Amino acid sequence: MSGVSNLILTSSAHLIRLASGLLLIKLIAVYLGPDGLGKLGQFLSFATILTLIAGGGITNGVIKYVAEYKNETVKLVDFLHAAISYTIFCSLVVFVLCVVFSETLSSFIFLTPQYYWVFVIIGLAQIGYAFVNFTVGVVCGLRQTRNYAFVQVIGGIIALPIVFLFVYFGGLWGGALAIISATFMNVIPAFFIYRKINIVTRLKIHFGNFSKFGGLPKYSLMLICSAIAFPVVEMIIRQWLIEHSSFHTAGVWQGASKLSAAYLGFFSVFLAYVFVPQISEINSRNEIFKKVVKYLGVVASAFLIGATVLYWWRYYFIGLFFSEEFSELGEFLIYQLAGDFFKICSYVIGFVGVAKATTKLYIAAEFIQASLFVCFVYFLNFSTSALGTVMQGYAITYAVYFFVCCVSLYFYVSSNEFLRKLLG
């Protein structure tokens, strides 16, 4: 299958996933209002974390080693034995933790222990998430992009009526179950694909020798940092908004964050599947610099065109994606778009680190982004409005982060010894 076909299939799968996520937010916004979205926002972040780290968060490691060993059957089977055992072990640990701390989590996220049972359910559901992550890792490693798209598209379609019924009839608890179901439904097409791959149906589970897990914990560390960083920051900022304003304001900001994630996702897919492979093949730092400048121009131009359209008709899009109760967002959307502009430009530079597989730099970048955002919101009050403070803090965070990325790129190109060690 050609690279273009892979990109189209992957982008289509990403579009379905984003559309499903936006529809979920739209349903919650319409039937539960900003207050409901604000109350469910913390749980949504928690669910996002569990979805990504389910099974130890080793999807990227599975992709890498399956691709590397696909022509060496013995090594591939040995690795997959270890990978599925590690996945099951980690998901069972998370399930136990969710059960043990269910009341504590309910009190923290919903401000009442009465929804403890929701965390028992999501603890059980993340075992399914882990299975999906493992299956997706295998098919992507085997370059079966069509099967990856099948899992995402069919899972999204199956989830739609279930999500609607939960939100429509269930109120707050229904919204929580809808959030769980939106991702869990991928288990059905993933199981169908799993049964088609002969090599994985012969896998055996072993927990006796943990040394066989090899480098898998390293991938857990990388993805846990990535999965936790921004969702945890979202939870901190959302709590700050609730304390300084209301659940309504927190819900409006949640809508802005999800809108950003929707359109920034397309740029991330483009960079991951077009930009990164090109950078991976280049060893000359000057050539890398030229490629980065070229893609910065492409990404920045495309974003500015889309952002102009979004801002000009902002109240139409706010009503389309959410409801009229979110109209307050239009006043501060310019700051969100400014932050998103600097964020995606930073990611062009940051994907150089991804292409070169630099774990330390990757983790450091996640920490810097998270720390800057929290500090700007908590310690610098830019606006008399709580929502304005958060939106302006977001814009300044990524303006500063983009500057840091530019400086890092300069030293990297100039062969600075410290960054050479970081970048391997």
> How far apart, in Å, are the Cα atoms of 137 and each of 3, 30, 61, 109?
18, 36, 8, 31
| DSSP single-letter state for residue 327 | T
User: Which bin fits 244, alpha (ψ -120 to 50), beta or left (φ > 0)?
Assistant: alpha
Q: Which of 267, 251, 265 is nearest to 345 (CA)?
A: 267
For the chain, the 3-state helix, strand and coil shares in percent, each to the nearest 5, are: 90, 0, 10
Task: Indicate the pTM of the whole model.
Answer: 0.69
Give the Cα-Cα-Cα angle 304, 26, 309 (nearest 5 degrees): 20
Residue 10's pLDDT is what?
A: 65
More confident residue, 133 or 226: 133
CB atoms within 10 A of CB 77: 16
- 273: which DSSP letter? I
Q: Which position has the higher pLDDT, 188 or 59?
A: 188
Confidence of residue 233 (pLDDT cuts 50, 70, 90): confident
Is the pLDDT score of 5 beyond 80? Answer: no
* Residue 28 amino acid letter: I
Task: Summarize the confidence of residues 197-216 as an average pLDDT.
Answer: 61
Mean pLDDT of 198-212: 59
> In sequence order, what are the residues at sequence separation of 6 or more whose Cβ sits closer than 8 angstroms to the Cβ of residue 50?
94, 122, 126, 129
| 175 closest CA partner among 254, 103, 236 | 254
Q: CA torsion sign, 399 to 400 to 401 to 405?
A: positive
Q: What is the pLDDT, as a whole number, of residue 81? A: 82
144: phi then psi, degrees, rounded to nearest 5: -95, 70
pLDDT for position 205: 63
Rounded CA-CA distance 397/359 in Å is: 22
Give the least confident one: 33-47, 114-128, 388-402.
33-47
Q: Which of 120-124, 181-185, 270-274, 392-396 has the weakest average pLDDT?
A: 270-274
Q: Return all residues near 181 (Cβ < 8 A) that are at least 6 apart.
A: 159, 162, 163, 166
Domain ranges, ordered by start, for the chain: 3-222, 245-422
Cα–Cα distance, 325 to 11 (Å, whole number): 31
* 367-392: pLDDT as tens digits: 888 889 988 888 876 666 888 889 99
Longest dimension (CA), the chain: 64
Spatial separation of the C-alpha atoms in residues 198 and 239, rounded to whole Å: 48
List the helix and strand counts (H, then E) for the chain.
16, 0
Q: Which residue type does 7 have?
A: L
Q: Alpha-carbon Rg of the chain, whole angstroms? A: 21
| Main-chain dihedrals φ then ψ at residue 245, nearest 5 degrees | -140, -95
* Rounded (5°) CA angle 180-181-185: 130
Give the pLDDT confidence score for residue 272 in this predicted structure. Answer: 63
Alpha-helix residue ranges (DSSP H) falling in 245-328 = 247-270, 276-280, 285-312, 314-321
Contact present, 190 and 151 (Cβ < 8 Å): yes
The pLDDT tens digits for 304-355 are 988 898 889 888 888 877 777 788 888 888 999 999 999 999 988 877 765 5
Q: What is the pLDDT of residue 130?
A: 92
Other beta carbons within 10 angstroms of residue 259's beta carbon come to: 23
Contacts of 153 (CB under 8 A, 6+ apart): 12, 13, 16
- Residue 416 pLDDT exceeds 60: no
Arithmetic mean of pLDDT, 201-207: 60
| Residues 408, 386: Cα–Cα separation, whole Å | 33
Q: Are 374 and 233 in contact (CB under 8 A)?
A: yes
- The confidence score (pLDDT) of residue 400 equals 93
The pLDDT score that the predictor gives to residue 187 is 93
